[in-house]
């Protein structure tokens, strides 16, 4: 079948769709343009692909049958969660109006996991939660909370992104400093492999040295090695005492001094340390009226710092206020707004979690996901700002960072009036990316800390990782997906 010529693609497509309808039922396969549209365009509307159909199975067995049927006729599969990813990984690559690409990859089936949304088990002794891959992250957090536990992965898209998506992108977010990222919070996985077989590795063991770590391989694989259908997640005791503050800072170096001080003061009670610059704070206020910055947005930099503890009577509030008074005396911060109660804490976090939504509305931001050694963040911001301003004098520099884990979203933001007339937009975005990625690389950093590679950064992966690393990655890909049918063109270029 893989030798079918173009002439036969139409009839083959009809057979594939009919087979999938037989497997999952007609109501779980969409082919009409209007029904398919939301699944072939990414969240920011930057990538639009084309799909044979969208299929939404209800069980692991059905996912396996769908993948097997696609493999039998050489039809690619694009696994998809909430479609909130920021690298174009969750939408098909192929476009019929792009002749360079259409020959390379056949229109795929988008396999959306949203109907597989059951929480299967919560174990409060072993501190584990087993969930199907299509569970929305916020629903998992809620299920843990109802049993007095915490699932600590938290990010702005948590109301729509799915557990399978967070696992496949190894999502970071705002809880990494204290609890680690997704990889550290996944104990077991169930995966449908490229040939349609099922690997059940849902064991929730804390220690398991039985051979290669298969689980780690699928975390962050972005759907290129298989379809994650369920996961055993690690839960933590629920914090009950919080102290949250929003601080004004004149320069990034001062924020680093504050980080060092609060880290040694609070130890593991330091649960968040986030940074944004004034441009970012202004954009949120402008685009999302009603969400106001806790301090005047014109302050050059803003830091959100949070202490938390599982012990209700823990003096985290007094500890934070003491740390902030010292920081004020030392001149590291200019001002601080401390949350009085959970309502104000929620408002502070809402402002922080609003940045992606506000930036999407504001203009064309080349959102970079660099990571550098924490002590080099100030040098990195200075060097990247200078290089970017030199190359693009009209650009606005927007910075939002998970500073406590060295992850800086450095965003050259092109206002619409500047961006629209540009003749070769992809080349401009590429140049902006390369400039900043090279600076991160010189500082032994990374160009993808938490968003993944998708289609946006596949070229950069080949440019910036060593030939040996690329060779090893291709060996893994070829071994697990010899037909190249799982999410083609993502992570590794076709
Ligand atoms: C407002 C906003 C804020 C964000 N903040 C953060 C942040 O702070 N930190 C962060 O890390 N990310 C952030 N993101 C990015 C995004 O939310 C995460 O990458 C998220 O993990 C994607 O989950 P999803 O279910 O939407 O996956 P999708 O976007 O649907 O897919 C992402 C990738 O995973 C693959 N995939 C999805 N489900 C499966 C599955 N079941 N099996 C195999 N492969 C699968 C897809 O093929 C694709 O390659 C943000 C996005 C938005 C819109």
What is the atom index within ligand 1 of the atom nearest the CA of 160?
A: 26
Given this model, what pLDDT does residue 345 score? 97
Given this model, what pLDDT does residue 94 score? 67
Could you report the per-residue pLDDT of 217-256, keeping only the tens digit for each?
999 999 999 999 999 999 999 999 999 999 999 999 999 9
pTM: 0.94
Distance 84 CA to ligand 1 centre (A): 5
Given this model, what pLDDT does residue 161 score? 98
Given this model, what pLDDT does residue 6 score? 41
Beta strand 119-123 with 198-201 is: unpaired
Alpha-carbon distance values, 25 to 13, 20, 57, 135 (Å): 17, 8, 9, 21
Tokens 């072939």 found at: 40
Given this model, what pLDDT does residue 280 score? 98
401 pLDDT more than 70 = yes
Euclidean distance between CA atoms 419 and 398, whole angstroms = 16
Could you report the per-residue pLDDT of 157-189, keeping only the tens digit for each?
999 999 999 999 999 999 999 999 999 999 999
- Burial of 96 by CB count in 10 Å (0-12 exposed, 13-18 middle, 19+ buried)? exposed
1 pLDDT more than 80 = no
Percent of the chain with pLDDT over 90: 91
Contact indicator for 273, 259 with CB cutoff of 8 Å: yes
Given this model, what pLDDT does residue 155 score? 94
Best of 77, 82, 84, 287 to mutate for ligand 1, by most ligand atoms within 8 A of CB?
84
E strand intervals along 31-151: 53-55, 77-80, 109-112, 119-123, 128-132, 149-150
398 pLDDT more than 60 = yes
What is the atom index within ligand 1 of the atom nearest the CA of 221?
A: 44
191 pLDDT more than 90 = yes
What is the pLDDT confidence band of residue 10, given thresholds at 50, 70 and 90? low
- The tokens for 240 are 């009950």
Residue that wins the pLDDT comparison between 308 and 96:
308
Euclidean distance between CA atoms 36 and 57, whole angstroms = 15
Radius of gyration of the chain (CA): 23
Distance 51 CA to ligand 1 centre (A): 19
DSSP string of 81-111, one letter each residue: SSS--SSS-SS----TT-HHHHTTSPPPEEE
* Helix, strand and coil in the chain, % to nearest 5: 40, 20, 40
Alpha-carbon distance values, 489 to 1, 127, 311, 434, 470 (Å): 21, 37, 48, 20, 14
Could you report the per-residue pLDDT of 96-134, keeping only the tens digit for each?
555 554 444 579 999 999 999 999 999 999 999 999 999
What is the atom index within ligand 1 of the atom nearest the CA of 191?
A: 42
DSSP string of 228-287, one letter each residue: EEEEEEE-EEPP-EEEEEEEEESSHHHHHHHHHHHHHHHGGGEEEEEEEEHHHHHHHHHH
Q: What is the mean pLDDT of the chain?
A: 94
What is the atom index within ligand 1 of the atom nearest the CA of 228?
A: 42
Stated as kind and residue range, the H or E segment containing 328 is helix 316-330
Could you report the per-residue pLDDT of 256-280, keeping only the tens digit for each?
999 999 999 999 999 999 999 999 9
Contact indicator for 203, 157 with CB cutoff of 8 Å: no
What is the pLDDT confidence band of residue 7, given thresholds at 50, 70 and 90? very low
Distance 266 CA to ligand 1 centre (A): 31
Taking alpha carbons only, the member of 267, 197, 269, 282 closest to residue 237 is 269
Protein residue whose Cα sits closest to atom 44 of ligand 1:
223
Could you report the per-residue pLDDT of 446-477, keeping only the tens digit for each?
999 999 999 999 999 999 999 999 999 999 99
Euclidean distance between CA atoms 16 and 28, whole angstroms = 14
Given this model, what pLDDT does residue 190 score? 98
Given this model, what pLDDT does residue 2 score? 29
Alpha-carbon distance values, 449 to 245, 325, 439, 444 (Å): 25, 33, 15, 13
Given this model, what pLDDT does residue 12 score? 80
């Amino acid at each position: 079948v893989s030798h079918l010529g173009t002439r036969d693609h139409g009839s083959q497509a009809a057979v594939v769709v009919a087979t999938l309808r037989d497997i999952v039922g007609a109501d779980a396969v969409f082919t009409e343009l209007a029904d398919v549209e939301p699944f072939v365009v990414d969240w920011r509307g930057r990538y639009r692909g084309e799909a044979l159909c969208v299929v939404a199975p209800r069980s692991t067995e059905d996912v396996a049958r769908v993948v097997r049927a696609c493999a039998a006729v050489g039809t690619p599969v694009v696994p998809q969660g909430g479609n909130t990813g920021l690298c174009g990984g969750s939408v098909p690559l192929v476009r019929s109006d792009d002749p360079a690409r259409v020959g390379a990859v056949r229109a795929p089936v988008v396999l959306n996991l949203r109907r597989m949304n059951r929480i299967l088990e919560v174990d409060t002794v072993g501190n584990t939660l087993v969930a199907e891959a299509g569970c929305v992250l916020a629903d998992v957090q809620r299920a843990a909370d109802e049993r007095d536990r915490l699932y600590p992965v938290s990010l702005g898209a948590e109301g729509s992104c799915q557990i399978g998506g967070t696992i496949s992108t190894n999502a970071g977010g705002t809880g990494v400093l204290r609890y680690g990222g997704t990889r550290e919070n996944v104990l077991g996985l169930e995966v449908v492999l490229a040939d349609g077989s099922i690997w059940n590795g849902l064991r929730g063991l804390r220690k398991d040295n039985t051979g290669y770590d298969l689980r780690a391989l699928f975390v962050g694989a972005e759907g290129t090695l298989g379809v994650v259908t369920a996961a055993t997640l690690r839960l933590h005791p629920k914090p009950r005492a919080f102290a949250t503050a929003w601080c004004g800072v004149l320069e990034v170096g001062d924020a680093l001094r504050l980080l060092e001080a609060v880290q040694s003061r609070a130890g593991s009670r330091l649960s968040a340390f986030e940074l944004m610059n004034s441009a970012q704070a202004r954009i949120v206020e402008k685009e999302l009226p009603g969400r106001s910055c806790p301090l005047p947005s014109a302050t050059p930099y803003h830091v959100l710092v949070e202490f938390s503890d599982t012990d209700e009577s823990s003096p985290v509030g007094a500890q934070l206020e003491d740390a902030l008074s010292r920081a004020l005396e030392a001149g590291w911060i200019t001002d601080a707004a401390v949350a009085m109660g959970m309502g104000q804490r929620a408002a502070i976090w809402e402002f922080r979690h609003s940045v992606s939504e506000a930036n999407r509305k504001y203009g064309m931001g080349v959102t970079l996901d660099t990571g550098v050694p924490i002590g080099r963040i100030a040098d990195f911001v200075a060097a990247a700002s200078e290089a970017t301003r030199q190359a693009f004098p009209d650009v606005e520099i927007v910075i939002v960072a998970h500073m406590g884990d060295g992850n800086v979203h450095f965003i050259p933001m092109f206002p619409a009036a500047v961006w629209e007339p540009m003749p070769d937009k992809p080349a401009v975005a590429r140049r902006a990316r390369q400039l900043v990625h090279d600076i991160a690389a010189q500082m032994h950093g990374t160009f993808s800390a938490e968003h993944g590679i998708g289609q946006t950064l596949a070229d950069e992966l080949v440019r910036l990782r060593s030939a040996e690393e690329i060779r090893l990655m291709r060996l893994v890909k070829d071994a697990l997906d010899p037909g190249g049918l799982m999410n083609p063109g993502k992570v590794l270029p076709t």
